[in-house]
Amino acid sequence: MISITVIDRDDQPHVLETPTDMGLNLMEVCKSYELPVKGTCGGMALCASCHVYVLSQHELPEATDDEIAMLDQAFFVKTNSRLGCQIKIHDALDGLEVKLAPEAE
Ligand code: FES
């Protein structure tokens, strides 16, 4: 199990405990804790409803072309923007801290 801190859109931190051996991604973990992450496309990098800002210094895999293309069309994108559904949960992400991006209107 690892712990991930997710700061919601009201600046409230939530510490999520998640297993690393179930092939989950960050969007799925947020949904399982009932955080307001829609995950509309089911994790296909096609909706940006799982957009987060990565606040900690964890090394994440490079974004794929699909993720970059989706973030290109998303709102409120910053240099630390990532799609939660493209962040696979694994041991090295223990202590990861992210903030939910604002919802697109
Ligand atoms: Fe749609 Fe992540 S859930 S892009």
Picking from 105, 50, 57, 39, the residue whose alpha carbon sits closest to that of residue 82 is 50
pTM of the model: 0.96
- For 29-61, the pLDDT digits (tens) are 999 999 999 999 999 999 999 999 999 999 999
Domains in the chain, CATH or no CATH each:
2-100 (3.10.20.30)
Phi, psi angle pair for 13, to nearest 5°: -80, 145
Ligand 1 binding pocket, CB closer than 6 Å? 27, 39-41, 43, 45-50, 70, 83, 85
DSSP state of 29: H
Instruction: For residue 83, give the ligand 1 atom closest to its CA.
Output: 2
Q: Angle at Cα 103 formed by Cα 79 and Cα 90, nearest 5°?
A: 60
For residues 43 and 27, the answer to whether their CB atoms sit within 8 Å is yes
Report the separation in Å between the CA atom of 8 and the middle of ligand 1, taken as the mean of its atom positions.
Answer: 17
